[in-house]
Every structure is written in C-alpha cells, then in structure tokens.
Amino acid sequence: MKNFDFHNPTRLVFGKDTIPNIGSYVQQYGEKKVLLLYGKGSIFKNGVYDQVVASLQAAGITYVEMSGVQPNPVLSKVRETVQFMKEEQVEAIVAVGGGSVLDTAKICAASYYYAEDPWDFYERKVFPDKALPIYGILTLSATGSEMNSGGVITNEEEKKKWGWGSKVTYPRLSIVDPSVQKSLPRNQTVKGVVDTLTHVFEAYFGGTKNTLMQDEFSEGIIRTTMAAAKVLLEDPSDYDARAELAWAATLALNGLNGLGRAGDWASHGIEHSLSAYYDIAHGEGLSMVMPAWMQYVYKEDVDKFARFGEKIFGLELEDQEAQALAAIKAYKDFLQGIGAPVTLRERGIGEEHLVEMSKNALLRGPLGTLKVLSEKDVLEILRLAL
C-alpha cells in the first residue's frame, strides 16, 4: 500500500426530505445571492426545482438561473455561464442535477475569479487559489461529483474531453436524496451503475500490490452496486436500493476507494476520446471500453482478475488465467443483463475514427498504470471493443 494524506472537505447531507433544507444551509454560510444551475428540465418533472426555489425564497436568498447544461457538458456553456455569473455578481452556485451540472459548476466556480479563458485550467496553464462555494443537489448518482473536486468538460471545437480538479473545487455541501431518483428512466439508472463500477475498477485494477483492506472495500461497493441494480431494474421506486446505489456511487469516487493505490484511469481516458467524437453518454462509453481494456491487460495482474472472479462472481476454477478470463466474461454478461452496450457497433460506431481517437486519447500523455498504453495499445483496445 502506498502512503496517503486524505482530506475531503465536503459536507454530505443524505436521505429523504433533505432538499428543502438547502436555503437554510446557504443562509448559515452567509451567501445572499446564488446562481441556480441546472440541466434541461428533469428537475421540473420530479419536483426538485420547486423544492429548491421554495427553500431559497424562504431563507431570503436571491437567485438567478442558468439552465441547459447537457449530459456531456461543453466549454461553450461554461464560458456563457461564467460571463453571466460575473455580470450578476453571485456569491455561490447551487448546482442541481447529475454529474454534468456539478462538473460545470466546479470549473465555473474557479473561473469566476479568473479573467482569461476557463480552458486554461484544463491545459494546466494556470491553477486556481480560490473558487466560489458550491452547493450540490444530486438527482442522478453516478459520477461521485457531489463529494469530489473533479470535473470533465468537452472542448467541442478541439474535440478534447478532459478532466480537471482542484482542492478549491470540492462542493462545500451536497444533498443526496435517493427518493428523487425513482423517476429516472431505466437507461439512466443503468449508466449510473456502470459509471459507479468503473470508478471502483480504476483503483482496484491499478496494479498496486498488498492492498487487502482497499480490495475488500472495493469489492463491497461492487457487490452492493450490482445487487442494487438488479432490484431497481425490477422496481425503480425501491428506496433502499436507491439509497444503496447512491451511497455506493459517492464512495466509489470521493477519495476513499483510491487510498493507498495507483489509479489506472486508462479506460476513462479512452472513453473521453470516444465521446469527444460521438455523442454518447459517459456510462455507455465505459460499458463498451472497460471490458475491452480488461481483456487487453489482464495478464499484467492475473491474480487480481482471478480474485475479482472469486469475490464478485463466486468462481472457483483451478487455473488462475482461466478464472481471470471467466471473470471478464461474467462482467460482460452482467452488463448485457442490465441492458448496457458492450460493443461499439451496438451504438453505431465503426472503424472510421479509431485511429484519430487513439491519438486523441494520448494528447495529455500516456494512459494507465497497470499497463502504460501507447497509441497502438489504445487502438487495439478500441478494436476489441468493436
């Protein structure tokens, strides 16, 4: 296990009927005018918008609104939002939605105090020393953005989908009420399940040895997520399963799962390139890329993949390599069983941009820790995903 220094400053408020408290929380911290940031309208259908607005009004908090954050959030929207925030002189952001809204809030919060282009942060030309406070209200559990500092934005002009984060962009407070997620379409729940699992895998299969405590922790998240998925696909309104999945998604990427281990993150890098070229959801991209990555790299740590087969799927084969391969197949079977795509062709993606996507994935440098991937490696993984 590697050394670590862990600190997560986000206050997490979890459970039923917690959203109507947002106004009092903002009031406690002293902000008087906020930006209410959200996506394309689902918060009107599930009642969350009305709860948030009523709470802010009751607490005497002035708010201005910015809507239209899309599932793969884009730089042009960030630029528009930052300009609007500066004109309105807001003091905080209340981000209502899924990971895309929270990711957008983070870069906007840092860019509020920066006079140049927000993309400079992603290019690592500048590093923020302050940001506006962020209050998150989560309506889709998947990315863990409610309790981490990172966010992914697509520069649509340059076809760059990159991640970024800073110690100043952790949400000050996030509210997670699993009950509001019961109205999610089936495919949104599936994408959240895949995203959660892949976040766990990035650390679990990172190649660091002697991490028994962390392996057990990861496996608990994996089993819980899979069990909750099976319940929710039968009964989307099951609160207990919603709560288990929501908490698992938070734990997968709030820092705890990665402690003492290297994170591989190659699958995420490849998926970011994929969805920079094709308008597909992040969870869908990961469900196609991750099994192909597993198949390509499993020989780098046969023992861990065999353990995965035993602890998650109950496999007990005598040959470790055979068990590793069986585990990968079992994971693909699970994905297919919940309706997630496992090949690019299922989403109409062929070979036409594979070479360009392989180059694009490595624009910021090599990918991976279990196996450091070259452009040729990425291309082979994408071909396996076909």
299 confidence band (pLDDT: 50, 70, 90): very high
Task: Tell how strand 160-165 and strand 150-155 pair up.
Answer: antiparallel
Average pLDDT over residues 217-223: 98
Partners of 137 in beta bridges: 96, 175
In order of 115, 172, 186, 351, 386, the CA distances from 346 in angstroms are 44, 40, 18, 13, 9
Give the pLDDT confidence of 338-386 residue by residue, as tens digits: 999 999 999 999 999 999 999 999 999 999 999 999 999 999 999 999 9
Q: pLDDT at residue 74 above 90?
A: yes
**DSSP codes, 186-237:** HHHHHHHHHHHHHHHHHHHTS--SS-HHHHHHHHHHHHHHHHHHHHHHH-TT
Distance (Å, whole) CA 182 – CA 122 = 35
Handedness of CA 372, 153, 25, 48 (dihedral sign): negative
Share of residues in the chain with pLDDT > 90 (%): 97
Looking at the DSSP assignment, which residues form a beta bridge with residue 150? 165
Domain ranges of the chain: 11-179, 184-385
- Work out the pLDDT band at 198, boundaries 50, 70, 90: very high
What integer pLDDT is reported at residue 50 of this predicted model? 96
Domain 184-385 sits in CATH at 1.20.1090.10
pLDDT at site 78? 97
User: What is the pLDDT confidence band of residue 41, given thresholds at 50, 70 and 90?
Assistant: confident
Q: Is the pLDDT of residue 288 over 90?
A: yes
CB atoms within 10 A of CB 144: 23
Q: How many CB atoms lie within 10 A of CB 130?
A: 11
List the Cα angle 218/222/228 in 5-degree steps.
Answer: 140
Closest by CA to 380, choosing from 279, 268, 277, 289, is 289
Q: Report pLDDT digits (tens) over 248-258.
A: 999 999 999 99
CATH hierarchy code of domain 11-179: 3.40.50.1970
40 pLDDT band, cuts 50/70/90, is confident
Angle, in degrees to the nearest 10, between helices 239-252 and 212-234: 150
- In the chain, the largest separation of any two C-alpha atoms, in whole Å, equals 66
Q: Tell me the angle at which helices 186-204 and 266-277 cross, rounded to the nearest 10 degrees.
A: 140
Q: Is the pLDDT of residue 99 over 90?
A: yes
Give Cα separations from 356 to 75, 79, 334, 361 (angstroms): 21, 27, 30, 9
Specify the pLDDT at position 42.
Answer: 85
Strands 134-138 and 92-97: parallel
* CB of 42 closer than 8 Å to CB of 182: no
CA–CA separation, 335 and 287 (whole Å)? 7
Instruction: Name the pLDDT band for 141 (thresholds 50, 70, 90).
Output: very high
Q: What value does the mean pLDDT of the chain take?
A: 96
CB 126 within 8 A of CB 64: no
Residue whose tokens read 């899924």: 98
DSSP string, 225-275: HHHHHHHHHH-TT-HHHHHHHHHHHHHHTSSTTTTTS----HHHHHHHHHH
Question: pLDDT, tens digit, for every residue of 321-341?
Answer: 999 999 999 999 999 999 999
Handedness of CA 335, 310, 247, 99 (dihedral sign): negative
- Which letter does DSSP use for residue 74 in this model? B
Q: How confident is the model at residue 279 (pLDDT cuts 50, 70, 90)?
A: confident
Tell me: the pLDDT tens digits for 144-194? 999 999 999 999 999 999 999 999 999 999 999 999 999 999 999 999 999
